[in-house]
């Protein structure tokens, strides 16, 4: 055998070789993928995860072995894709954990991996993977292949073998275990395939054999020998959901696991040092899979992808339509008004000083539109930080989200009036934003206390016309204040006045304001809607 060392430089070479070999075998691994879901992405997910690990390893400024292993682990944990990617991240984490422990035990640096450390790494990897899967390993999967490799490496160490012997023995044992997976899992036998995750692991173990011994093992074909069953495509959960969960107490992990298992399958929760946990699940209700963790910690880097194909799945990219408009509104009338104009509607909930929408509610509403691209009209009901957080999370799910600068429902209506799905999304969004920006708006409220305003003193019950966060009109009632505010807004011109009437406003108010516009502003159109919103008595816009 070669006396090559597995030091920091060699570990980096192995990572590069693994990426190259996964590229060569990705299509083959994907064609083997029938369990747990026949979504043909195991090879792709392992490749993306290993690429993420390599990218971080290449950023390490030294060839220190412990630092290199730590970088590979961190890159894989943060870039894990899919069930197989999470499992791969745990295998790389095992390398980092064992080397860290060895360095601590010796009180110094660990410069290379010997047979004992390699066997310990594989055994620790088995423990991490099984723990991430809830303590139960399904026979005939990547876990079976990993366990066989670990046993062979441990046996080799017991017999006095060196690193090359242990690496080669573990790879050969893994290959034998892979061949046996169809005998252990009926769905593999029916499809005439070996386990796809196990095949991906063998690619990595063969790459390590080449790195350590200088020789590439010769393998036979693992291409499918039969037809993959069709039922997983229609019976599988709709979505694969992944996210990182921070600030989660150790005892809460099993609570989360139980919740996710009630929602779907393929639940994997892996500890991520200094971060928290990496969470993976297949479920029909993607929003509920995220919400299950909200009272246990803080989810981030949320990702969602469709697990269904063909007529039973969603459209392109897993979505049922290309584009939607989501409007945040307050009031039953407003909900009907925006829905009639073709928008999906998210109703506000009273909170604190006024109606508001959280990032979680916004995220769920965006995903529930079923659209690949969503234009969001916040209409002044979503705080900036919540808007950014919700849209960022939705983008992490693969939705192209564009929040438009609508600060009032009248601006939202102006934007919606020029919405055209036939235009490219960027043109549509720009046109809608321009229409919103060209709409001046203000509101009328009822004074709740005596006060001094920019327009003079007011008494309880007076109507206050507000523009730009300042009271510029004070009149004896709502109708008079509305007339004054309309005159102010039309002072620099306008063709259309829109009046939205709140929950406690009589519809006769709209009639009186319409008469005022027709009498004093000839040629200007006016429309009124009983939106039933809380807070402001009137919301008035001018275009």
Average pLDDT over residues 518-541: 92
- Whose CA is closest to 175, among 154, 206, 151, 153? 206
Instruction: Using the predicted structure, report yes or no on whether residue 143 has a pLDDT greater than 80.
Output: yes
| pLDDT range class, residue 232, cuts 50, 70, 90 | very low
444 strand-pairing partners: 465, 538
Instruction: Using the predicted structure, report yes or no on whether residue 489 has a pLDDT greater than 80.
Output: yes
- Whose CA is closest to 85, among 305, 270, 238, 237? 270
Q: Tell me the DSSP string of 131-195.
A: HHTTS---TTSHHHHHHHHHHHHHHHHHTT--HHHHHHHHHHHHHHHHHHHHHH-HHHHHHT---
CA gyration radius for the chain? 31
Q: How far apart are CA 533 and CA 445, in angstroms?
A: 12
| Structural domains of the chain, with CATH | 8-231 (1.25.40.340), 236-310 (3.30.70), 316-437 (3.40.50), 440-542 (3.30.1180.10)
| pLDDT range class, residue 231, cuts 50, 70, 90 | very low
Instruction: Using the predicted structure, report yes or no on whether residue 53 has a pLDDT greater than 80.
Output: yes
Q: How far apart are CA 225 and CA 174, in angstroms?
A: 20
Q: How far apart are CA 426 and CA 472, in angstroms?
A: 37
pLDDT of the residue at 317: 39
- Whose CA is closest to 411, among 291, 543, 265? 543
| Residue appearing with tokens 């510029």 | 472
Q: Judging by DSSP bridges, how do beta strands 463-467 and 470-475 pair with one another?
A: antiparallel
Q: Judging by DSSP bridges, how do beta strands 354-356 and 349-351 pair with one another?
A: antiparallel
| pLDDT range class, residue 233, cuts 50, 70, 90 | very low
Percent of the chain with pLDDT over 90: 45
| pLDDT range class, residue 38, cuts 50, 70, 90 | low
- Helices and strands in the chain: count of H runs, count of E runs: 19, 18
Q: Each residue of 312-330: pLDDT tens digit? A: 233 333 455 788 999 999 9
> Encoding tokens for residue 318?
């897993």
Q: How far apart are CA 364 and CA 288, in angstroms?
A: 9
pLDDT of the residue at 2: 45
Question: DSSP 3-state assignment of 57?
Answer: helix
Q: Each residue of 192-207: pLDDT tens digit? A: 889 989 999 999 999 9
Which has more pLDDT, 127 or 276? Answer: 127
* Range of weakest confidence among 261-275, 477-491, 507-521: 261-275
| pLDDT range class, residue 174, cuts 50, 70, 90 | very high
Q: Judging by DSSP bridges, how do beta strands 456-458 and 451-453 pair with one another?
A: antiparallel
Q: Average pLDDT, whole number, for the chain?
A: 85
List, in order, residues 6 or more apart from 49 with CB less than 8 Å away. 76, 79, 80, 81, 82, 84, 85, 88, 89
Edge-first strand order for the sheet with 344-347 is 344-347, 321-329, 371-377, 400-403
* Range of weakest confidence among 111-125, 274-288, 432-446, 459-473: 274-288
Average pLDDT over residues 108-120: 89
Burial class (CB in 10 A: 0-12, 13-18, 19+), 479: buried
Which has more pLDDT, 532 or 273? Answer: 532
Average pLDDT over residues 510-520: 93
């Amino acid at each position: 055998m070669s006396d090559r060392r597995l030091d920091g430089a060699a570990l980096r070479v192995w990572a590069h070789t693994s990426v190259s070999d996964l590229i060569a075998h990705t299509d083959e691994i994907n064609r083997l993928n029938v369990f747990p879901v026949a979504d043909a992405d195991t090879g792709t997910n392992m490749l993306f995860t290993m690429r993420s690990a390599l990218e971080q390893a290449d950023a390490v400024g030294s060839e220190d072995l412990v630092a290199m292993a730590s970088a590979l682990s961190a890159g894989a944990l943060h870039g894990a894709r899919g069930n197989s990617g999470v499992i791969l991240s745990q295998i790389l984490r095992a390398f980092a954990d064992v080397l860290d422990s060895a360095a601590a035990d010796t009180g110094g640096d660990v410069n290379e991996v010997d047979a004992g450390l390699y066997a310990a790494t594989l055994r620790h990897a088995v423990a991490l993977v099984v723990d991430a899967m809830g303590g139960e390993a399904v026979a005939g999967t990547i876990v079976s292949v990993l366990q066989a490799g670990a046993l062979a490496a441990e046996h080799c160490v017991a017999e006095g073998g060196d690193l090359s012997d242990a690496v080669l023995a573990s790879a050969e044992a893994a290959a034998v275990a892979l061949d046996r997976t169809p005998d252990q899992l009926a769905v593999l036998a029916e499809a005439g395939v070996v386990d796809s995750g196990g095949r991906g692991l063998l690619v990595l173990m063969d790459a390590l054999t080449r790195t350590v011994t200088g020789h590439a093992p010769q393998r036979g074909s693992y291409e499918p020998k039969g037809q993959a069953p069709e039922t997983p495509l229609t019976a599988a959960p709709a979505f694969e959901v992944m996210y990182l969960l921070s600030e989660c107490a150790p005892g809460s992990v099993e609570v989360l696991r139980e919740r996710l298992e009630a929602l779907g399958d393929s639940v994997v929760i892996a500890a991520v040092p200094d971060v928290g946990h990496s969470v993976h699940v297949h479920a029909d209700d993607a929003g509920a899979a995220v919400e299950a963790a909200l009272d246990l910690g803080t989810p981030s880097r949320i990702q969602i992808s469709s697990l269904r194909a063909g007529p039973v799945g969603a459209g392109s990219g897993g979505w049922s339509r290309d584009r939607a408009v989501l409007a945040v509104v307050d009031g039953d009338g407003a909900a009907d008004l925006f829905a009639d104009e073709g928008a999906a509607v998210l109703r506000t909930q009273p909170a604190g000083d006024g109606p508001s929408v959280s990032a979680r509610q916004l995220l769920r509403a965006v995903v529930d539109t079923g659209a690949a691209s969503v234009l969001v009209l916040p209409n002044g009901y979503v705080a900036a930080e919540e808007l950014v957080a919700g849209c960022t999370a939705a983008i992490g799910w693969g939705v192209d989200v564009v929040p438009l600068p609508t600060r009032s429902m009248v601006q939202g209506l102006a934007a919606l009036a020029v919405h055209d799905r036939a235009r490219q999304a960027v043109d549509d969004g720009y046109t809608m934003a321009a229409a919103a920006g060209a709409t001046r708006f203000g509101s009328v409220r009822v004074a709740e206390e005596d006060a001094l305003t920019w327009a003079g003193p007011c008494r309880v019950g007076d109507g206050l016309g507000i523009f730009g966060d300042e009271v510029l009109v004070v009149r004896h009632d709502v109708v008079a204040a509305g007339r004054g505010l309309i005159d102010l807004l039309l002072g620099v011109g306008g063709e259309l006045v829109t009046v939205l009437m709140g929950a406690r406003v009589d519809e006769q108010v709209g009639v009186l304001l319409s008469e005022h516009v027709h009498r004093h502003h000839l040629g200007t159109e006016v429309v009124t809607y009983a939106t039933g919103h809380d807070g402001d008595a009137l919301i008035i816009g001018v275009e």
